[in-house]
Amino acid sequence: MPFFYTFDIYYFILIIPALLFGLWAQSQVSTNFQKYSKIGTMRGMTGAQAAEYILNQNGIYDVEVRHIAGNLTDNFNPKNKTINLSDSVYNSTSIAAVGVAAHEAGHAVQHAVGYKPIKIREMIIPVTQIGSWLYLPIILVGFIFSSQYLVNLGIILFSTLAVFQLATLPVEFNASDRAITTLANSGILYGEEINGAKKVLKAAALTYVAALVSSLAQLLRLVLLFGGRRRD
């Protein structure tokens, strides 16, 4: 079978379905966030206030809650100890905003209590960055010069991306679980508001699953294309 024909076959069989799953996951995030960003909470607490409340409840006073530009650009930065909330979250009193803010506060709590999976993920990051830069050049050089050693090295480097994304899943799911538990127990959200926040955070979690599926599909494609190939 010609090389480029094989390339196309694996691309259509593996990569396109993974991309479609990723697009679907993104659409779920957009749909659920837009829906619940239009519904205010009974308590009327903003995203920023919810994040600060959760931090204080967990005895965390060295993390600053900041406003940043953008849409769904929310994040927790452990380096400068900031929770950064986007335009649609920081001052909003919607169910979606409070859920997202609580999720980011959940990451701050993870760092404060020494949650092991987040430590493992941070240890992997440098290797992952190197792998993402070098895997393709190394594979191509190995293929051109018939060096299966270099090809395998490139594939291994790429696999670190999948390992990183696999390690990310428990971190993200745990942050969401912490958020929902705190929101319910503290009375920040009531009744059906909790279900709305769950839907928003579940949709967001799907994007991390999609990222893992995409990396695994690409890894399998690389193995099928280059792993164990022999050139005469």
pLDDT tens sequence across 104-115:
999 999 999 999
Point out the catalytic residue in the list 104, 122, 172, 193: 104
Q: Quick one: pLDDT at residue 3?
A: 47
Query: What is the rounded distance in angstroms from the CA atom of residue 77 to the CA atom of residue 73?
Result: 12
Query: What is the rounded distance in angstroms from the CA atom of residue 180 to the CA atom of residue 214?
Result: 28
As given in the structure block, the two tokens for residue 127 are 């290797």
Indicate the pTM of the whole model.
Answer: 0.89
**Does position 6 have pLDDT exceeding 90, yes or no?**
no
pLDDT by residue (tens digit) across 173-214?
999 999 999 999 999 999 999 999 999 999 999 999 999 999
Domain boundaries, the chain: 3-226
Residue 172 is among the residues annotated as catalytic for this protein? no
Q: Quick one: pLDDT at residue 183?
A: 95
